[in-house]
């Protein structure tokens, strides 16, 4: 039986009925990684020995009737941005190539306490800066649906691993679309929660006011299970929301009857890919059939979101990445002649082109004489974008948009044109700027067989609403875990 193809909730049921074992599932997943990953390159580090030990521990708990819950014995991949005690954490960068953290991130602690099995660390754009995974310091991940195409980014390794059944579920991070866009391109479900819903303690920072942790999963129910496992207040994270976490699985079957679904005219521009538009319009019709009511809304400052983001995010990155200087940890160049030159040589050797580009942009916008002209103005625009959403949610309960403007593009297609690459996140960036929850689920496929995602946006702490709508939509779309041929 191909157990690696099953979902969290399906495997948990088999475990409880003693029809499958965590060790058997973990062995199948690791065998899958060994067979496929030389081509997919979703993993940067494989921890086979510790994963099998974790699986044996889970199996013993099940035999004693002491299961720790739905994630006990489930192989979960971790984007290589999460600190893992005793396991190398590179953040996709050569500057952290040999860095081994002394403690776990909060989300890793939570998964570990619930019995999750960790097969390894997943590839990503360096320091989460990218939309294609081509900025990884260790080579790109390839899309399982077409190995000549990108999986999206920056959580491309996480999305590809779930799509290729190289893990049952995964964790990623989303700063401007880095969970939802690769989920769309790889045909899986990805959730970016409300800012502060999940702890960022122990997550290597890119842009601290935008970063958020979330799951990538095979279906909506698994995504709800994963978010339930990692959400909640953490006193070690000053931005963590001190609110109780609802039972997301209970919200799945609430239905959409009477729900007002907002369609923002700014998200359906004249040049939108016809197949992407078609899939989204099909989803609107399905929701309407289920009793939802489409309403027209406007988000007038959407056109400024990408420009706003590419001032704020690089500015925060410039500050956050100043710590990588070759003194405290990470790469240290032996070529430096004195302290300042050591900084220069270390950062020149350790950072890739895109990271250097964003540090330079961020440093420029924060510099004397430019702060007011750029950074302060971008923060004012960010407020306008957030108010657009506040006004929209007076007229609707959820917003439905495309996730990505196109299906997966070819490797190398946009690497020479940074602006075109940045526009890959045009439909997801505003959600991060406003701190809202968003979910991408598979809506259909292109004529060439590539997945196309649809994007549900909710109000602050509106995860239950987007889960119930996504579950209803998923049931009608009947995606039924379409599998890429590998």
Look up 154 and say whether it is catalytic: yes
Q: Which of 21, 178, 283, 318 is catalytic?
A: 178
* Helix (H), strand (E), coil (C) string for the chain: CCHHHCCHHHHHHHHHCCCCCHHHHHHHHHHHHHHHHHHHCCEEEECHHHHHHHHHHHHHHHHCCCCCCCCCCCEEEEECCECECCECCCCCCHHHCCCCCCCCCHHHHHHHHCCCECCEEECCCHHHCCCCCCCCCCCCCCECCECCECCCCCCHHHHHHHHCCCCCEEEEEECCCCCHHHHHHHCCEEEECCCCCECCCCECCCCCCCCEEEEEECCHHHHHHHHHHHECCCCCCCCCCCCCCCCHHHHHHHCCCCCEEEEEHHHCCCCCCHHHHHHHHHHHHHHHHCCCEEEEECCCCHHHHHHHHHHHHHHHHHHHHHHCCCCCCCCCCCCCCCHHHHHHHHHHHHCCHHHHHHHHHHHHHHCCCCHHHHHHHHHHHHHHHHHHHHHHCCCCCEEEEECCCCCCCECCCCCCCHHHHHHHHCCCHHHHHHCCCEEEEEEEECCCCCEEEEEEECCCCCHHHHHHHHHHHHHHHCCCCCCCCC
Q: Which of 154, 184, 199, 440 is catalytic?
A: 154
Look up 250 and say whether it is catalytic: no
Q: Which of 67, 79, 110, 404 is catalytic?
A: 79
Look up 178 and say whether it is catalytic: yes
Give catalytic residues, as residue numbers.
79, 154, 178
């Amino acid at each position: 039986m191909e157990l690696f193809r099953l979902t969290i909730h399906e495997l948990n049921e088999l475990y409880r009925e003693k029809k499958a074992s965590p060790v058997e599932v973990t062995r199948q997943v690791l065998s899958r990684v060994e067979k496929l990953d030389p081509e997919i390159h979703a993993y940067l580090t494989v921890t086979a020995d510790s994963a099998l030990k974790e699986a044996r521990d889970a199996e013993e708990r099940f035999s004693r009737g002491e299961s720790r819950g739905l994630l006990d014995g489930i192989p979960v991949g971790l984007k290589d941005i999460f600190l893992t005690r005793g396991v190398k954490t590179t953040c996709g960068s050569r500057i952290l190539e040999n860095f081994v953290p002394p403690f776990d991130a909060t989300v890793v602690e939570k998964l570990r306490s619930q019995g999750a099995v960790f097969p390894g660390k997943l590839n990503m754009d360096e320091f989460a800066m990218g939309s294609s995974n081509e900025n990884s310091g260790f080579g790109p991940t390839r899309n399982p649906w077409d190995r000549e195409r990108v999986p999206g980014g920056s959580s491309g390794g996480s999305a590809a691993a779930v799509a290729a059944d190289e893990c049952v579920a995964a964790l990623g991070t989303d700063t401007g679309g880095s969970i939802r866009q690769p989920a769309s391109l790889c045909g899986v479900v990805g959730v970016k929660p409300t800012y502060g819903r999940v702890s960022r303690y122990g997550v290597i920072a890119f842009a601290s006011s935008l970063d958020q942790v979330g799951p990538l999963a095979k279906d909506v129910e698994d995504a709800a299970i994963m978010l339930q496992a990692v959400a909640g207040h953490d006193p070690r994270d000053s931005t963590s929301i001190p609110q109780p976490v609802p039972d997301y699985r209970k919200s799945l079957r609430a239905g959409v009857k009477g729900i007002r679904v907002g369609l923002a005219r700014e998200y359906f521009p004249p040049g939108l890919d016809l197949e992407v538009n078609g899939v989204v319009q099909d989803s609107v019709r399905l929701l309407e059939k289920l009793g939802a009511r489409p309403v027209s809304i406007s988000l007038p400052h959407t056109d400024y979101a990408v420009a706003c983001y590419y001032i704020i995010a690089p500015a925060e990155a410039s500050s956050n990445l100043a710590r990588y200087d070759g003194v405290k940890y990470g790469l240290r160049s032996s070529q430096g002649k004195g302290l300042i030159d050591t900084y220069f040589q270390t950062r020149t050797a350790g950072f890739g082109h895109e990271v250097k580009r964003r540090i330079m942009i961020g440093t420029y916008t924060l510099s004397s004489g430019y702060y007011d002209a750029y950074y302060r103005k971008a923060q004012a625009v960010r407020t306008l974008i957030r108010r657009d959403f506040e006004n929209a949610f007076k007229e609707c309960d959820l917003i439905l948009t495309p996730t990505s403007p196109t299906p997966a593009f070819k490797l190398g297609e946009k690497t020479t044109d940074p602006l075109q690459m940045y526009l890959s996140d045009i439909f997801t960036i505003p959600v991060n700027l406003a701190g809202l929850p968003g979910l991408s689920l598979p809506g259909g496929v292109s004529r060439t067989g590539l997945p196309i995602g649809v994007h549900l946006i909710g109000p602050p702490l509106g995860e239950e609403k987007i889960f119930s709508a996504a579950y209803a939509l998923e049931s009608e779309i009947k995606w039924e875990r379409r599998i890429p041929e590998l």
